[in-house]
Structure 1
Amino acid sequence: MTSRAGSRGVPLPGSLSGTELLLAVVLLAFAALAWLLSHSLATPGMRLGILTGARPMAPSGFEWARFGFFLLTWLVMMTAMMLPGITPFTIGMSRLLRVRRAGTGSIPALFVGYLLAWLLTGVAAYACLRAFDALAVSGSATAARSGAAVLVAAGVFQFTPLKQWCLVHCRSPMALLMRHGQRAVRSRRGALLVGCGHGAYCIGCCWALMVVLLAAGMMSLVWMAGVAAVITVEKVLPHGRQSSYAIGALLLGAGLVLLVFPELVGAVA
């Protein structure tokens, strides 16, 4: 490990070249644009969930159109929430690709692969959202207790070996670089697959938090920012495992309180 990289193999801010600094600025600018688009695309119903007093959505004869719009908003939302967290990984990969004289287009392919992995999860996310819509029809108490169960399940997941295994890979992207970097160097397709691989680890780490976001209001900027902050704390700040456990304890506590007092959902909403 050189002095130009942090302990987890990602470049330190002070070690960035002018080109790498420009790449970081471009990625963060895309993230900022995605936050603005999230605000613009969000309908009032998409800012509420079963944890925030959502009402059942009216039946629509344009289900495929609704599904397509959901995937669009999901992709924009993932860009807004995840892009800042993968900026160090992308810069580290760009440095590797430059040293090994890879062809042009590998970094965009890496970025597209990462977002493609998250886009595919949008299918499961849509099914989850439809299930939450059905729960909203059942009444506020049922919906609130269901949301509380989501919080409890997400809290429990924070303590599981799978969560910690995925978190280690998310916090140490150099392991992915060392194992699969040569594939990314060989072709844009290889870079695309490496991006998908890193996205898969992030999905394994964050899927439960995303379900919490769906239950709270997927396009609410407040809830998006809260979940994005939690993900950043886990992935970037020191003591990631301890942070993960603390977040799990908070989710468990909130879920158990709402199971006993579901009327608090109405009070907060």
Structure 2
Amino acid sequence: MFTPRADTDPLEGRFDQLDRSGRMIARLARRPVWPVLAMVLLTAGLAWWFVLSMAGSIVELQGSARPLGPGMSLISRFLPVEPGSLAATIADLCLSADSGLILSSASFPSLAVALFVMWLAMSAAMMLPTAAPMIRTYAEIADTAAARGEPVVHPAVLTAGYMSVWALAAVGFTLVQLAIGHATGMSATGPVRGVIAGLILLCAGLYQFTSLKEACLTKCRNPFTTLFARWKTTARGVFRLGIEQGVWCLGCCWALMLIMLAVGSMNVVWMAALTLFTFLEKTGAGRVTTKAGGAIISVWGAALIWSALA
């Protein structure tokens, strides 16, 4: 956080009273849009690379992409593989659970940590790109405030607050996956099948039609109103603002994230499809995308339930 000098031209100031790092932050904060977008793209890119590397390690260890879910066989040959990397270690831990070690007291904590890291990486890869318009809006407001000589908090603080919500959500997704795996013997890397998969899809599809979904989506589509009305000039206040935006985003997208259980938690083809769908939802002005997606997912879920019980 910084306060530009009052006797300095708001557009051309050199911030001579600050040290080197302070001057760098000040300049970024006065024209923060492109640096912030670069930071978002870099972070999301690293998350995607981690997930892709994990999927590649699983394919290499299993010798096939088929257990990872529909569509993965089409891209399996292009997945990166980094032996000995963190992604490879996490993949190995998840595969160890598929051999029946999930009930072992020694392996259960390791599996839980591995799944949490996987869900956190997935959340960053899928949600940060969709949060870019919100972060850009904050950066533009911060730019205007800095030009007027007002104190401004770096947009990274807002992003950290936003991702803290998804870190907690990753804990919840991990617990859900562990519970389903314990009840069904499901693979830690493959898709859920049968009635449970149908119920997950049906739940996610019907949620698209709820008023809570609509309220959260409205907030996500109009970040300027919330950010401007609740503008903060302290790091704590901006972090809490990021948490609020993260909660709205979670309320909008939690059911869509659960679809990954039905198609395979390491299915990067469906990850990309859901990321694109979520981005279109958040940046669109109408309700067609949301309702159409909900109808398709609901019918899909109902069909799986029918076929499993028939």
**TM tier relative to shorter chain:** 0.7 to 0.9
Q: What do the CA deviations read for 1:171-205 (whole angstroms, capped 9, x no partner)?
A: 11112212322x2xx21111111111100001001
**Match 1:163 to one of 213, 238, 241:** 213
Mark the CA change 1:19 to 1:173 in structure 2 (over 3 Å): closer, same or farther: closer
TM-score scaled to structure 1, two decimals? Answer: 0.79
**Match 2:304 to one of 253, 258, 265:** 258
Mark the CA change 1:128 to 1:80 in structure 2 (over 3 Å): closer, same or farther: same
**Map of 1:117 onto structure 2:** 165
Pair 1:151 & 2:218 matched: no
Question: Letter of the aligned partner of 1:128 in structure 2?
Answer: V
1:1-269 mapped onto 2 (5 Å cutoff): 19-42=32-55, 44=58, 48=68, 57=98, 58-59=100-101, 60=104, 61-101=106-146, 103=151, 106-137=154-185, 143-181=193-231, 183=232, 186-239=233-286, 241-262=287-308
User: How far apart in 1 are the matches of 2:32 and 2:298?
Assistant: 44
The alignment's C-alpha RMSD in Å is: 2.9
Question: Letter of the aligned partner of 2:251 in structure 1?
Answer: G
User: How far apart in 2 are the matches of 1:66 and 1:137?
Assistant: 14
Mark the CA change 1:120 to 1:176 in structure 2 (over 3 Å): closer, same or farther: same
Q: Show structure 1 runs of 5+ residues with no match.
A: 1-16, 264-269
User: How far apart in 1 are the matches of 2:271 and 2:180?
Assistant: 18
**What's the secondary structure of 2:230's corresponding residue?**
helix
Q: What do the CA deviations read for 1:140-186 (whole angstroms, capped 9, x no partner)?
A: xx9411101111111111111011110100111112212322x2xx2
Task: Work out whether residues 120 and 167 of structure 2, in 8 Å CA contact, stay in contact via their aligned partners in 1.
Answer: yes
Mark the CA change 1:138 to 1:80 in structure 2 (over 3 Å): closer, same or farther: closer
Question: Letter of the aligned partner of 1:211 in structure 2?
Answer: L
**What's the secondary structure of 1:218's corresponding residue?**
coil
Poorly superposed stretches of 4+, deviation over 4 Å: 102-105
Q: What do the CA deviations read for 1:111-166 (whole angstroms, capped 9, x no partner)?
A: 11111000001121111101221343389xx9411101111111111111011110
User: How far apart in 2 are the matches of 1:78 and 1:87?
Assistant: 14
**What's the secondary structure of 2:157's corresponding residue?**
helix
Task: Work out whether residues 38 and 219 of structure 1, in 8 Å CA contact, stay in contact via their aligned partners in 2.
Answer: yes
Task: Work out whether residues 157 and 235 of structure 2, in 8 Å CA contact, stay in contact via their aligned partners in 1.
Answer: yes
User: How far apart in 1 are the matches of 2:152 and 2:107?
Assistant: 41
Mark the CA change 1:103 to 1:80 in structure 2 (over 3 Å): closer, same or farther: farther
* Rg (Cα) greater in structure: 2
Displacement after TM superposition at 1:103 (Å): 4.9
User: How far apart in 1 are the matches of 2:54 and 2:285?
Assistant: 35
Q: What do the CA deviations read for 1:28-47 (whole angstroms, capped 9, x no partner)?
A: 13212211111123463997
Question: Letter of the aligned partner of 1:172 in structure 2?
Answer: N
User: How far apart in 1 are the matches of 2:153 and 2:228?
Assistant: 20
TM-score scaled to structure 2, two decimals? Answer: 0.69
Task: Work out whether residues 112 and 195 of structure 1, in 8 Å CA contact, stay in contact via their aligned partners in 2.
Answer: yes
| Corresponding pairs, count | 239
Task: Work out whether residues 132 and 215 of structure 1, in 8 Å CA contact, stay in contact via their aligned partners in 2.
Answer: no
